[in-house]
């Protein structure tokens, strides 16, 4: 369990850095609406949470960690670190 928690903490740290970078590059980017609840700074608002789940858990079976990892990948795409053609690989 300790290893899992370290991985979750590491993922939070990665997302936090990526969010700050995206906020600097594009303060109006649509992915930023998920940043505060994903990072547990604010509680989820129902429609924002539903938007998040529709985008990062469309079939309703993705784990909490996998949803956050998919969010991180989306931010990396927005930052240009992952080319659009790699999106479906």
What pLDDT was estimated at residue 55?
Answer: 92
Provide the mean pLDDT of the chain: 88
CB 39 within 8 A of CB 9: no
What pLDDT was estimated at residue 88?
Answer: 54
- The dihedral through the CA atoms of 46, 52, 54, 59 has a sign that is negative
pTM summary value? 0.82
Average pLDDT over residues 77-88: 79
pLDDT digits (tens, 9 = 90+) for 40-77: 888 999 999 999 999 998 788 878 888 999 999 999 99
CB 29 within 8 A of CB 22: yes
17: helix, coil or strand? helix
The pLDDT-based confidence of 4 (bands split at 50, 70, 90) is confident
**Domain total in the chain:** 1
Q: Domain range for residue 53?
A: 2-86
């Amino acid at each position: 369990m300790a290893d899992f928690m370290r991985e979750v903490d590491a993922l939070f740290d990665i997302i936090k850095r990526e969010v700050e970078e995206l906020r600097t590059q594009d303060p109006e980017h649509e992915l930023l609406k998920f940043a505060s609840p994903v990072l547990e700074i604010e509680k989820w608002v129902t429609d924002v949470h539903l938007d998040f789940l529709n985008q990062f858990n469309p079939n309703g079976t993705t784990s909490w960690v996998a949803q956050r990892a998919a969010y991180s990948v989306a931010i990396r795409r927005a930052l240009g670190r992952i080319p659009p053609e790699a999106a479906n690989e």
